[in-house]
Structure 1
């Protein structure tokens, strides 16, 4: 389906130069002189290579329609994620590169949303929040105000994040999967 370049958004899949690309970032730039254009960072679905492309806002691009399907994460096998279709119980292998840094947030039996183009996986979305345990947290520095100060902490999956001063090692917290930021203490 053809669409104007200025309507490209992150997460969409397009066909360009005979290859499929997933959009990572887009920015419309309006220079002081001349027409506006869109700067797009995209990744080749086959090779995983990233590139930047520019189009005038009036140009058209071929957008591929994606189908969303839910799978259950089973385990990681080398460079592949093994997912199970909850309806047919078939196992599907998807390259870890599709998920990128979000792989650290995968948990056993987690339901994930996979974007498919003609049956091929092109993207994957995790749930917006996960609950993890703090394994390391810096001590509170006396005199810090609780309103604006955060301290570094290490989560059970190895990811580092910033948490409020009252959070200690051993506590479970809710973390945003998009940017590994603290949301709240986990409710028991």
Structure 2
């Protein structure tokens, strides 16, 4: 699918030099003199290599045609996480390294959107927040208030976050998957 460069947005996946890249930054530059340009920064989907490209606003860019499937993370198998398609029940492995930091937000039975390009998985779209149990943190201080500083905690997936001082081991907290920050305590 062709897009005009002026239509590009952060997060779009495009074909650049016959490879898939995700746009990490898109800046529209309109100088006082001369022609406007669209400056992009992007990251190669497989290698993580960064690239930059300037486009004229009316220049055509090939947006990758992705298929999205609802898949359930079901279990670990060595260095792979196994996902099951919610419609066909087909199971596919995805390497932990390929998933990157997403592994810290996945518990068995979590349903996510998996993006495919030409029948190959290229990424996972996490929900905006996840609820995870605190497995390790310093004891609650009796003098702690909501406004005092945060303390480190380790969650059941191994994710390390800063939580308010009143949070104790065993409690469930809601975490923002975009930045890995504590949102709130979850009542069981």
Band of TM-score, shorter chain? 0.7 to 0.9
* Contact preservation (8 Å) 1:24, 1:42: yes
Q: CA deviation at 1:128?
A: 1.9
Q: How does 1:65-80 map to 2 (within 5 A)?
A: 65-80=65-80
What SS class does the counterpart of residue 133 from structure 2 fall into? strand
- Written as runs of structure 1 = structure 2, the 5 A alignment for 1:1-188 is 1-30=1-30, 34-138=34-138, 146-147=146-147, 149-188=149-188
Give the 3-state SS of the residue equivalent to 2:103 in structure 1: helix
**SS of the counterpart of 2:11?**
coil
Deviations 1:33-83 (A, max 9, x none): 644433333232344433233323332211122222101112334554321
Distance, in Å, in 1 between the alignment partners of 2:124 and 2:48 is 14
The answer as to whether partners of 1:68 and 1:115 remain within 8 angstroms in 2 is: yes
Residues 164, 91 of structure 1: CA spacing in aligned structure 2 closer, same or farther, 3 A cutoff? same
Measured in 2, the distance between the counterparts of 1:85 and 1:147 equals 44
Superposed CA offset, 1:78-135 (max 9, x none): 5543211122221112344553211111111111101123322222111222221223
CA distance in 2, matches of 1:45, 1:180: 21
Query: Is the 1:131–1:186 Cα contact (8 Å) retained in structure 2?
Result: yes
Aligned length, in residue pairs = 188
Query: For the structure 1 residues 57 and 145, does the alpha-carbon distance in structure 2 shift closer, same or farther, using more than 3 Å as the test?
Result: farther
Q: Classify the secondary structure of the residue corresponding to 1:100.
A: helix
Query: Gaps (5+ residues) in structure 2?
Result: none
**Given the two structures, how large is their TM-score scaled by the length of structure 1?**
0.82
Looking at structure 2, the residues matched to 143 and 32 of structure 1 have their Cα atoms a distance apart, in angstroms, of 58
Residue 19 of structure 1: CA displacement? 1.9
Deviates more, 1:12-21 or 1:36-45: 36-45
Worse-superposed segment, 67-76 or 26-35: 26-35
**Structure 1, 107-116 or 134-143: larger mean CA deviation:** 134-143
Distance 2:75 2:42 in 1: 28
Q: How far apart in 1 are the matches of 2:128 and 2:84?
A: 20
Shift of 1:140: 6.1
- What's the C-alpha RMSD, in Å, of the aligned pairs? 2.7
